[in-house]
Amino acid sequence: MLEVSNISKSFGGFRAVSGVSLTVDTKQIAAVIGPNGAGKSTLFNLITGHLQPDSGAVRLDSRDITGVPPYRICRMGIGRSFQRTNIFPQLTVFENLQAAFLVHYGRGRNFWSRADALYRDETDDLLALVGLVGQEGTIAGVLSYGNQKQLELGLALASDPAVLLLDEPTAGMSAAETHETIQLLQRIVAQRGLTLLFTEHDMEVVFSIAQKIAVLHQGRIIADGRPEEVRCEPEVRRVYLGHRLMDAQRQ
C-alpha cells in the first residue's frame, strides 16, 4: 500500500535520511524504531510532503506521491499525527473535530451555512471513539497532555484515512495511559481496516502490536522484518545499547 523507495534527504552537510526503502502492506501494522536523531520524523515528513526528498520516491497504491503538498496527500487518504501535539488551541474540542469533518466533506467553500450545525453526529461519534466525551466544550489549548494526544488522534482519523501515520503516539504517557492507547489503536485499526505506520520509543508498544519493524539508525535502515527476526539482529542490539531492555520485553 505504502512504498518508500530509496529516499534521501540532506540538510546542509548533514544526511538525515539516506537511501531508505520501506514497504507497508495493506492493513499491516508497521513500526519504525531507532535512537533519537535517527531520522524517524524526517522520514515521516518526507512521506507526508512536508519535506521534499533529494532523491527517491514515495508511492501510495502505486501512485507516485513524492513531494506532493501535504494538503493533497491528506486528501489521498493518509492521516497523520505529529510528535509535538498539533491541535487548534483556541477552538473547543468539538470545534476541532468538527472542522476536520467540514474539510473532509468538502464544505470549506461554504460561505453561508452555520458551521456549528454541521456534522454534529459524526463529531459526537468520533469523540466517543477517542474517549473525549464530556470534553466537548473545553478549549483545546487547556486540555491535559493525554487528552490533547487523544484529540490529535481524532483529527487524524476524521479525514477517514486508509493509511495512518502516527509519530510517537504514546510519548510522555504513563504506563496506564500507554496501555489504553494501545488498546484503542488496535480497536480502531481493526474496526476501520487501517494500514498503520508508527514510530515509537516505547518497545512494549512496538512489540505488542507491530507486525513488521524497520530499524533506522543514522538515516539508514539497518533491519527490517518481523518482530522476532528484528529482535535477534546483532546490529539492532548493538545500536540500542540496552539489549537487556529487549530481553526484558520478552517476558
Partner 1 sequence: MTVAAKKKVLRRRVATAAALRSRAISGRIPWTLVIFVIMATVPWVGSRYDTFLAAQITIDALFAVSLNLLLGTTGLVSFGHVAYFGVGAYVCGILMKTYEVPFSLAFPAAGLGAALFALISGYFCVRLIKLYFAMLTLAFSQIVWAIAYKWNAVTGGDQGLPEIPYPNLDWMSAIPGCGDLSIGARFYLLTLVIVAVSLAAVHRVVRSPFGRVLTTIRDNPERAAFLGINVRLYRLAAFVVAGGLAGLAGALYGIFSRGVFADYVFWSKSAEILIMTILGGIGYFWGPPVGAAALVWLNQVITDYTQYWSFVLGVILLVLLFGFPGGIVGGLDLLWQRVKRLRNA
**Residue 71 in grid coordinates:** 494538503
CB of 172 to partner 1, least distance (A): 15
Site for partner 1 in 61-100 (CB under 8 A): 69-72, 74-75, 80, 82, 86-92, 95, 98-100
- State which residue, 74 or 196, has the beta carbon closest to partner 1: 74
| 171 belongs to the binding site for partner 1 (CB under 8 A) | no
Asked whether position 121 contacts partner 1 by CB under 8 A, the answer is: no
The reply on whether position 155 binds partner 1 by CB under 8 A is yes
Please select the residue that binds partner 1; options are 6, 115, 133, 172, rule is CB under 8 A: 115
Binding range to partner 1, per CB under 8 A, among 27-35, 112-120, 179-187, 218-226: 112-120
Q: Considering the complex, what minimum distance in angstroms separates the CB of residue 47 from partner 1?
A: 12
| Residues within the interface to partner 1 (CB under 8 A) | 48, 50, 69-72, 74-75, 80, 82, 86-92, 95, 98-100, 102-104, 107-116, 118, 137-142, 155, 158-159
